[in-house]
Amino acid sequence: MATVIDGKVVAQTIRSEIADEVRLLAQKYGKVPGLAVVIVGSRKDSQSYVGMKRKACAELGIKSFDVDLPEQISQAELIKQVHELNDNTDVHGILVQLPLPKHINEEKVLSEISLEKDVDGFHPLNIGKLAMKGRDPLFLPCTPKACLELLQRSGVTIKGKKAVVVGRSNIVGLPASLLLLKADATVTIVHSHTSQPENIIREADIVIAAAGQPKMIKGSWIKPGAAVIDVGTNAVDDPTRKSGYRLVGDVDFEEASKTAGWITPVPGGVGPMTVTMLLKNTLEGAKRYIEQSN
């Protein structure tokens, strides 16, 4: 049976490490990391994600700058707000909660965030550096970074191993594959046009699943002893629940946990780690800025 990697426990450990470093920064320089969380409009899911991020900041001693803007705000006005945050030396990270209202061009707004404050790690220059040998991005995107932390903190060897990433989105699959490559794995990417993905996945020592397809990866596809990180978060109907649904991953957990060496559950695996990586990125940005300017 696989070792189940408990994302909540790992996230808690990392959060207490961050809180320690925040205290040290405050003692040494009298400054704390600052994260600006910008939300436009009143979507319930976005409000809830933003609330979670702001609460996590407060718990770790990170100063949260709350920017709540109306749905009707113009793109120019939103960009003006981003520029003000770029200029604010107490803000070390800027996060614009997506999706933005339809009249606003997301790509344009995100590209206005200063590279030094791009704690989501989505700036094309950060992704470009991630793809290049010998270059280091300022920030790594949070979910792929969470996957690597879970592997490393569980003692999984990455160097020289065969890794398969299922999915190639800009926010998860592609950067996860680039990170594994940087960590010296031999990486294959499976996507929706890949024929017979099971034959590729069966070869993998490490599988990162990020396709958004409930239980697509069967237990028989998993190489004995492989490390399986399941990013997929899919709501499926469940009439036995009050909510009427439950969350499942891209991997059939019951089957795969019999063969894998390590596996993350859904929920409770990658999910709790993602916000923690945002806080870690904010700390890293703050340390870089504060140490350079002192």
Annotation says 27 is catalytic: no
Closest CB to ligand NDP among 63 and 215? 215
- Helix orientation angle between 7-29 and 44-60, rounded to the nearest 10 degrees: 50
3-state per-residue secondary structure call for 22-34: HHHHHHHHCCCCE
Annotation says 80 is catalytic: no
CB 250 to ligand NDP: min, Å: 7
Tokens 């991630």 correspond to 130
Residue of 120, 230, 250, 252 marked active site: 120
The residues of the shown chain that bind ligand NDP, judged by CB under 6 A, are 143, 166-169, 171-173, 190-194, 197, 210-213, 216, 231-234, 270-271, 274
Sign of the four-CA dihedral 64, 70, 71, 75 = negative
Closest CB to ligand NDP among 167 and 265? 167
CB 247 to ligand NDP: min, Å: 9
CB 194 to ligand NDP: min, Å: 6
Q: CA angle at residue 85 from 112 to 49, to 5 degrees?
A: 85
CA nearest neighbour of 247 among 227, 232, 262: 232
Residue of 31, 63, 81, 97 marked active site: 97
CB 264 to ligand NDP: min, Å: 9
Residue of 53, 117, 223, 280 marked active site: 53
Cβ-contact 138, 118 below 8 angstroms: yes
State how far the Cα of 284 lies from the Cα of 142, in Å rounded to an integer. 13
Annotation says 196 is catalytic: no
Closest CB to ligand NDP among 81 and 282? 282
Q: Which residues are catalytic?
A: 53, 97, 120
